[in-house]
Every structure is written in structure tokens, then in C-alpha cells.
Amino acid sequence: MCENLKGGAAMSWNRRDLFKLGILGAVVGGIGKLATGTAQALPIIGGEPTFNDVYKQIGRYIFLVPGKFAGLVAAYDMSTGMCLAWANMSIWAGNRTPIVHHLAAFASPDPYKEFEFVVNTQGGKNLYIYGVATPVKDPDPGFNIWRIKYDGSKMVLLEEVDKTTGLGLGVHVTAAPDNKHFAVADGQKDIFAVFEKGEGTAPSKVKTAVFFDWEPNSKELSRAWLDGGTLIIKKLHPPYDYTGTKGNKLDWELVPGGELFAEQGKVTGARVRNACALDSLTWNPTKPYAAAALRTIGCAVIFDTRTWEPVACLVGSDKFAKHGYKLPIKKVSADEWEVKFPFVPTPAHQAGFHPSGNYFVLMNNIRENSMPVFDCSSSDPGKWTKIASVGDPSWRGAYPNPFHMVFTPDGKKLFVTLWWPAPTPNGLAAVDTDTWKIEKTITIGPDIHTLAITYDGKHLLGVFSGYQKTHSGMYVLRVKDYKLLGYLPSPLGHHDCVIVPRTTKDLYVSRCTTT
């Protein structure tokens, strides 16, 4: 992307009309055309808008995006459209990096001068599950965790966290509300770890590491979750030996909409029947709690972040109404707990906290396809209660799959991606958090993924085509009227994104509270 493009045939635009109608849609759409060579560059003529005028409406935000199969992370200045810097993980990993996956950025008073972020990769057979042609026969073990700094001009690798700690984990990354810790989860090993971020090149320290396991009641794989079982929660202790693919229960992560692949025998691995398919650890921004979402078990385990002991197990299905939408946790030893499930009604996937810390949303998937909402205003998670389910009659079976979410800074709106396999168009659902009803559905394009909100609450940024190898890019939505303003071209195939926060308050709607 360029700023101040010159030359080309003159275009006659009325400046006032363009800004009234929203020139971002018109001009950013033009950016896409310019990128493909189907239109000439926008000229700068007296009094007419330039690309800079367009980008200034978005504001000074750095949009950080990994390319899922591109092997890099890029930082876009949304006030100019420039890519400020990029880091190539493929080179750092010896050109056999499997999948650059998720990331989180830490708050920095001036991200244009410097900021830090953490990004990870998946490994092993994950390289093959999306059908990307490759001559690689022996993929890197992967499960890298990189801590990286943007120093105002370039990306600098500070630490390979998986190597300094012995914990290689490949799914969601979240920054803690204190801006000093971060968490990384993994659904193939069913482990999450919380790290105290190192200063500079000093290594990060493991605050806690937790392992989940599942002992099914049924010996039949097809009933291994439906018929219930025992969820085992166990603290791990150093030395840790979980780098690369060590510790994998599954050979690859369950894809979106693929929560039933385990019970259907479509996933190989050493311990498929015992998989919990841990997705993420998200942080309550105002209370000392964090939630671990378990996909195949269809629940969220709430941890006290002062002790890292589990204190509640939430299940959003109405089939658990008589249990109060939660199950008791039994402590069986100093570092081990268990939860008895009479049955598992539906898998779950993403989860997140409202920026006030008073609500928690867990996404039921596949069998029920709704989003239960819990009132967590109480300081006691044992008293958190289900108050609503977000959904629509058109949500049937596996699709559309409520996938990723973000709240506006004032907490009045929740945006959720509605995922279908390509080439079916994907959309966004805008939810009113006073009523927990869907206000609007907006069609975006194929294969949309995570969301980010500008910290003034005016614009939503998103990415698409992390998997499908077809349409790819980024887009901008105006929050106040849900208008899709336009697309920004990118061939990188994004699966995640974050706007670099400036304050710890920004973290409350960043890759901290939601995934």
C-alpha cells in the first residue's frame, strides 16, 4: 500500500459528498483495484482527498497480523496504509515453519516507537490439514513461541520461549491485564502455561502450567464424550519437556466446525479418546480469574489467578439447567482436581469476557450452536449464573459456526464471526449486550477469522482467508452503523490479528479478554 500516489488520469470527485458518503469505502475499494492493476492511481489535485485523508479517519493504530501459511508477521500503520515492518518466522525456524498461528501484543504508550508481542506456531502434521501443496516431507516439529520487539524500524527476536522454558504450545496467545504476563494454550497437548514476560532478552519465567485430561465412561470412540466421563485437571512442574510435538494427543488441531472429528475417527493421534481440545485461556479484566475453554468437553474451567487453582466449571447447555449450568470440582491431591460429567451435550470453542468483567460468553458449537452468556459480576465464580443464549433460528447444525469475538470498548456491542467453509460467504453478527440479541448480520467474504476494535470504538478491523487459499485480505467496518467501508489487499492468508494497545485499559478489548 502507498501514500500520496501521483499521476494517472484525473478523477472528478466532490470532496464534501465523498466524505458524507464515507470515502473510505470508495477509496479503499480503489486501493484493491489499484493493487490488481485494473484502475489507474488516484491523482492528487487541488482540494481533493488523498489516500492519507482516508486513512486518517481510522486513526493512528498499528494492525498486527500473522500470515498463517506465509511464515511472517506484518505491522500495518492504519493511519497511512504502510507496512511498518515484518518478521519472517520461516527464516528463523530454518524455512520449515509449519503454521504461524496466534499472537497477542502488549500495551505500549507509543507503539510507533516500540512494542512487544508474542506469536506462536503449530507444528508437525498441521502443515498438511488444509490442503496446501508443499514438497515438505519432514515438517519442522514447530510449537514455537516467539517474543518479538518492534524497535521503531524493524522486528527483533527477543526470545524463543518454547526453548527457554521447555513448553512448546501452538494455539491461542493472550496478554494478561497487568501487561506483565501472558498465556499460551494448546489443544493437541491440552496444556496451557502462564509466563511472566522477560525484560529485554532476559528469559520469561513460567508462572504456572496446567494439564487437562479426559477419562471417558464409554470405551467406544463415538461415545467417548457423549456418555460423559471425568475431566482431570493437573498442575505440571519443572523441568518441562513439551517442546515440538512432544506430548501431542492429537496429530493436528481440530479445525473450525471439526469438534466432532475426534469422535468420528477422522483425527489420528496417540490419545484421541482422552482429548479435551483446549482452545484458550482468557482473562477477566477486573477480577482475579481466567477461563480455560475446552472444546470437546463443552465447558469453561475458571481459575483463580492468585493460586492457579480451578474454582468453577461452567457448562452453557440448557441440558445442564438442573445442575445450575456448572459442575462441582473435587480436589483429589495438592495439585490435581477432577470434574465428573454425566454427559457432554455439545462441544464448545471460543470464549471471552466483557470489558467490565461482569459477563462471560462461551460459544457452544455443532450440536447446539448458540452462545451462552453468564453473569459473572459476583466475586465468587460459584455464584456466576447463565442469563441468556445468543443465537438465531438460521444457526443449524455445525454452520454458521460462531467463531471469534470482540467487544466494543464501552461494552455495548459484541461482534462475532459466523464461519462457513469456503466458498460460502461468511458474516459478522452484531449483538446488543443490553438485550443479548442480534441486531445486524453483515456479509464479509469467505473464511473470516479474528476481530479487532480500534480503541476509540469507531472501527472494527478483521481478516479473512486463513485456511482456504482463495480470497484474502483485511477489511474495515464502521461500528456506529455497521457499514462495511472496504477491503485492504493482503495475500498473506490471515487467521489472527490485533491492534497494538497503548494502555492496560486497551487490553480489556484486545487479545486478552477474548480470542
Could you tell me the CA-to-CA distances from 284 to 234, 245, 277 in Å, in that order? 22, 30, 21
Q: How far apart (Å, rounded) are the C-alpha atoms in residues 47 and 40? A: 19
For the chain, how many structural domains are there in total? 1
Tell whether 356 is covered by a domain. Answer: yes
DSSP 154-175: SEEEEEEHHHHHSB---S-EEE
> Rounded to the nearest 10 degrees, how much is the dihedral formed by the CA atoms of 452, 453, 454, 457?
180
Tell whether 514 is covered by a domain. Answer: no
Tell whether 319 is covered by a domain. Answer: yes
Tell whether 114 is covered by a domain. Answer: yes
Tell whether 187 is covered by a domain. Answer: yes
Q: Provide the residue type at 383 as one letter.
A: K
Give the range of the structural domain holding residue 178, as residue numbers without chain letter: 59-509
Q: Provide the residue type at 159 as one letter.
A: E
DSSP 360-391: EEEEE-TTS--EEEEE--SS-GGG-EEEEEE-
pLDDT for position 47: 65
pLDDT for position 174: 98
Tell whether 201 is covered by a domain. Answer: yes
Spatial contact of 304 and 311, defined as CB atoms under 8 Å apart: yes
pLDDT for position 39: 36
Tell me which residue has cell 513461541: 145
Q: How far apart (Å, rounded) are the C-alpha atoms in residues 153 and 333? A: 51
pLDDT for position 356: 98
pLDDT for position 152: 97
pLDDT for position 96: 73
Spatial contact of 216 and 227, defined as CB atoms under 8 Å apart: yes
Q: Per the structure block, which three cell numbers stand in for 180?
A: 506483565
Spatial contact of 37 and 31, defined as CB atoms under 8 Å apart: no
Asked if omega into 139 is within 30° of 0 (cis), the reply is no
CATH at residue 224: 2.130.10.10
Phi, psi of 292 (to 5 degrees): -100, 120
pLDDT for position 199: 96
Could you tell me the CA-to-CA distances from 456 to 150, 160, 184, 509 in Å, in that order? 23, 33, 28, 11
Tell whether 27 is covered by a domain. Answer: no
Q: Provide the residue type at 487 as one letter.
A: Y
Q: What is the pTM of this model?
A: 0.90
Tell whether 208 is covered by a domain. Answer: yes
From first to last of its 515 residues, the chain has per-residue pLDDT tens of: 333 323 333 333 333 333 333 433 433 443 333 333 333 444 444 567 787 887 888 999 999 999 888 889 999 999 999 999 999 887 877 767 778 999 999 999 999 999 999 999 999 999 888 777 788 888 889 999 999 999 999 999 999 999 999 999 999 999 999 999 999 999 999 999 999 999 999 999 999 999 999 999 999 999 999 999 999 999 999 999 999 999 999 999 998 888 999 999 999 999 999 999 999 999 999 999 999 999 999 999 999 999 999 999 999 999 999 999 999 999 999 999 999 999 999 999 999 999 999 999 999 888 998 999 999 999 999 999 999 999 999 888 888 988 999 999 999 999 999 998 888 889 999 999 999 999 999 999 888 999 999 999 999 999 988 776 778 889 999 999 999 998 988 888 888 999 999 999 999 999 999 99
Tell me which residue has cell 478489548: 509
